[in-house]
Amino acid sequence: MVKNIHHVGIVVQSLARAYAFWRDALGLPLVREAELPDQGVRAALLAAGHSEVELLEPTRGDTGVARFLAKRGEGLHHLCLETPSIDADLGALKAQGVPLLDERPRQGLAGRIAFLHPNACHGVLVELTTPPPGDAHAESPVRFKRLVIGCREPQDTAKTYHQIFGLPEVAVNDGPRSMLGWSGGGTLLMVPASEVGGTLGMAALSMVAPEMGALADRLKKIDAVMFSGASEITLKPEAGNNVHLHISRYHFP
């Protein structure tokens, strides 16, 4: 049912400050920004190749996003998967007994959206969206490549995502890791939590860029770089709202 990783949602203190990193230094073009009063957030979507990055700033204290920020601080918050048929999919998930936060779709920034209960996906909050007809991802120089998820049992977690969403498996070298998604698009990489500092759930993002020079210069200017080489940059998590982000060079076909 799922055909793409639509976006990764990141909770931030301030959209204005987050733009300095994600839009201005990293170069992700702003697609749209809006206040969603019913969800108590001001949200923005930025283009990142076949997927997007969503920034969420709480506008009041009594929402899930505000509680997340108070308890855990800024950082990766949810994963959004794109489906052409959210109504049918929610019905099917409900029939299978998959725990849902939203039993009916509602209007979100990315289209008609609904959240599953985190228990459905081993602690990861997953959103489904059906974007409005004709809504296409914008061009961007830096593209989403992979979301790394820390797991107790990576094969077991991958099996759950495969069963619930029909996410295709992508071959990886033998070992404890498992990958789902589209090798030419975005992927989810399930790894043992011990490989990502004990984190269970969303742990890191990988992106790709066609050139590193100007990008590295912009990121160095705001003191965001932890390591930079000829074909890769590792960023300081504190520079990008506590997101562990790695960028590698890739010549887009």
What residue ranges bind Co ion (CB under 5 A)? 9, 54, 80, 127
Q: Are 46 and 22 within 8 A, CB to CB?
A: yes
Distance from chain centroid for Cα 215? 21
Query: How many CB atoms are located within 10 Å of the residue 230 CB?
Result: 8
Nearer to Co ion, 65 or 219 (CB): 65
> What single-letter DSSP state applies at residue 253?
-
Please enumerate in sequence order all residues whose Cβ is within 8 A of that of 135, keeping only pairs 6 or more positions apart, or say none: 111
CB of 123 to Co ion, least distance (A): 17
Nearer to Co ion, 36 or 170 (CB): 36
CA dihedral 81, 82, 84, 89 (to 10 degrees): 10
Cβ-proximal residue to Co ion, closest one: 9
Nearer to Co ion, 114 or 158 (CB): 114
CB of 115 to Co ion, least distance (A): 9
CB of 2 to Co ion, least distance (A): 14
On the 0-12 / 13-18 / 19+ scale of CB atoms within 10 A, 16 is: exposed
Rounded-to-integer distance, Cα 76 and Cα 6, Å: 15
Nearer to Co ion, 44 or 158 (CB): 44
Nearer to Co ion, 9 or 58 (CB): 9
Nearer to Co ion, 131 or 154 (CB): 131
